[in-house]
Chain A
Amino acid sequence: MGINIFDLLQVTIGGVAMGCIYALMALGFTIIYNALRLINFAQGDMFMLGATFGLTFYVSLSFPFPLALIAAGVVVGVIGMVIERTVFRPLRNYPLFNLIIATIGISITIRALALLIWGSQAMSFPPVYGDKPIKVGQIILLPSYLWVLLISVMFIILLQLFFTKTILGKAMRASAQNRNAAFLMGINVFFMDSLASAISAGLGAVGGILVAPIFFVETEMGALAGLKGFAAAVLGGFGSIPGAIAGGVILGLAENLAASLISSTYRDAVAFIILIGVLLLKPNGLLGKKAGDFKA
């Protein structure tokens, strides 16, 4: 079974595109971790909500796709903000373990509610990206992965600009680096927590709606996406923004290569293997800080 250079390129682009989705998920884990020092196991459900709300906006309400994407991101972002206000904030001074259990509780609740709204049937999202292959020289590319790649990269760049160029983004980073000092600057750190939760949820939702036209939409779809985002964040070094992006892209690429070179049954195993391997061999990840640097 041979693989030629053009197939390889195709596999690479598909892998990087999925990798960018994992990067969005990993960024969601990272941003909320940096602000609240918590691993949010409901992050995968934000991905699911992005796809389900996206479906409602695009199909039932006939929004144009870009608008459906933004609306899904905003609605799920608001849900993230509400979760922070009603669950994370009151639990702030409890042990980390309680908070993590709370995120699992949130995840179960969201899935149950989603089941009530959208039902248990897998739904298909209309093929928004078109299915006419794009020919670049001898290479034939599927438009869906190109769009996913393009849009997710755009969101990653926007996020980067937010964190490095705007005063609000800098205030958010400052709050993550030293809460008390941020208060002394007059930064409303509580609002920064809400914002972090909203951005994390919104990024997950964008990932969900972007891949919805490629896969089926169902209320359990968040579990695997959450796990892969988590693996990507661990691979890159939990808490590092460049690490989350690199981890996502590497995971997406590794998965797609394993699937096409070995067998597609191994696709989902790659994330587990990477997760276990990193935790055993290099717990701080590729770009992570030393464990000691994590204190507030």
Chain B
Amino acid sequence: MLLVENIYCSYGNIEVLKGISFEIMQGQIVALIGANGAGKTTTLKAISGLMPVAKGSILFKGENITNLTPYKTVAKRIAQVPEGRQVFPELSVLDNLLLGGYSVKDKDRVRNQIDTMFRRFPRLKERKKQQAGTLSGGEQQMLAIGRALISEPELLLLDEPSMGLAPILVGEVFDIIEEIREQGTTILLVEQNAHMALNIADKAYVIQTGEIVLEGSGEEIVNNEEVRKAYLAE
């Protein structure tokens, strides 16, 4: 479904992605794990067009989407939940969700999707008039995920959805991710919380200073000695 081939990205003179390649099959959860600063966020930004790609290509369902203008990616049915949630703090919960459907022409569909999100996240419904910036961290994460789902993406890019959440909420977020996949959305999951990510992933890639150093099924990676030492703190 998504084919990332040998991409390079730089911030100024500093090359932070040095030939990243990986593939995501339809219906999979693919985990991308790696230490802080390895280049995970940059990889997601390259896919959604927020980060210019200097070399290499990104194909989505056979179509070349390398360096697509960032506001056009969502119309290709790729949505991203950015690192640190990034809800619009001074807009209401409802307006945040409405903007999730900004690219969708059929506004009835958007309304239906918002209702679906309110059923999935009743806490958001109770707070729909509240400014998003006043929500708790967990609620903001639910809102960020809900907002990305309004456009009914075929591919969802999740950047550290468990970051800064209490353990009980982390479990909740991972349940939601599995639920989203069951409903047919393919997922690229970036996590530092490698253990949980690998447990639900069909396929996993380990990224280190801008390069993929290991790939395999979630199970293989979880059982890999080096990974256990480096990322699973054992």
Contact = CB atoms under 8 A, between A and B. Distances in A.
B95 A183 contact: no
A171 to B, nearest CB: 6
Interface stretch (B23-31, B54-62, B75-83, B195-203): B75-83
Interface residues of B, number: 27
A167 B111 CA distance: 13
B48 interface: yes
A187 B102 contact: yes
Contact of A174 (B49, B82, B91, B148): B91
Interface in A157-196: 167, 170-171, 173-174, 177-178, 180-189
B99 A171 contact: yes
A170 B75 contact: no
Contacts of A189: 71
A170 B91 contact: yes
B50 A183 contact: yes
B24 to A, nearest CB: 18
A173 B88 CA distance: 9
- Counting contact residues on chain A (CB < 8 A from B), the size range is 10 to 19
B71 A187 contact: yes
Interface in A173-223: 173-174, 177-178, 180-189
Interface string B1-22: 0000000000000000000000
A173 B91 contact: yes
A174 B79 contact: no
Contacts of B48: 183-184
Contacts of A173: 88, 90-91
B88 A177 contact: yes
Contacts of B91: 170, 173-174, 177
Most buried by B among A171, A173, A185: A185
B224 interface: no
Contacts of B72: 186
B98 A170 contact: yes
B187 to A, nearest CB: 16
Most buried by A among B48, B49, B70, B103: B70
B74 interface: yes
